[in-house]
């Protein structure tokens, strides 16, 4: 498993901090493809058909940004990766995680929690 703060995510944060980009509404999406997340990734392996969900943001520690959202499956599928994006579609991927496939039936849900820890 890999939890990655992507190159595109780093670029986005720099743009937010220097004022060249507004703070976006963060969204979480999921995917069904196989692979290992890398810093160069800009998309999920195979983004699933369900729409991304707006993330609830919090700061559980002084050096941590947390993004949480629950996605609901519209079909039987196996979810293998998820990501935080700066747009409801397209956009830049801030973080990506890959994991052992989770088999879902229609209507099943996964609550994703992404922590971006600044160390």
DSSP string, the chain: -EEEE-HHHHHHHHHHHTTSSPPP--EEEEE-------TT--S-SSB-SSPPEEPEEEEEETTEEEEEEEEE-SSSEEEEEEEEESSSSSS-EEEEEEEEEEEE-TT-EEEEEEEEE--
**Predicted model pTM:** 0.95
- Neighbouring C-beta atoms of residue 27, cutoff 10 Å: 21
Instruction: Note down pLDDT in tens along the chain; length 119 residues.
Output: 678 999 999 999 999 999 999 999 999 999 999 999 999 999 999 999 999 999 999 999 999 999 999 999 999 999 999 999 999 999 999 999 999 999 999 999 999 999 999 98
Burial bucket for residue 105 (CB in 10 Å: 0-12, 13-18, 19+): exposed
Whole-number pLDDT of residue 2: 78
Please, which residues have CB within 8 angstroms of residue 39's CB and are 6 or more apart in sequence?
Answer: 4, 5, 6, 7
Residue 65's CB: how many other CB atoms inside 10 A? 19
């Amino acid at each position: 498993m890999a939890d990655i703060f992507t190159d595109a995510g780093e670029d986005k944060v720099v743009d937010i901090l220097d004022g060249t980009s507004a703070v976006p509404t963060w969204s979480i999406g999921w995917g069904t493809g196989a692979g290992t997340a890398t810093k160069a990734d800009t998309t999920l392996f195979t983004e699933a058909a369900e729409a991304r969900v707006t993330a609830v943001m919090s700061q559980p520690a002084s050096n941590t940004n947390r993004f949480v959202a629950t996605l609901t499956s519209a079909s039987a599928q196996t979810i293998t990766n998820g990501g935080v994006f700066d747009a409801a579609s397209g956009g830049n991927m801030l973080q990506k995680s890959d994991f052992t496939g989770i088999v879902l039936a229609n209507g099943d849900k996964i609550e994703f929690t992404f922590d971006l820890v600044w160390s």
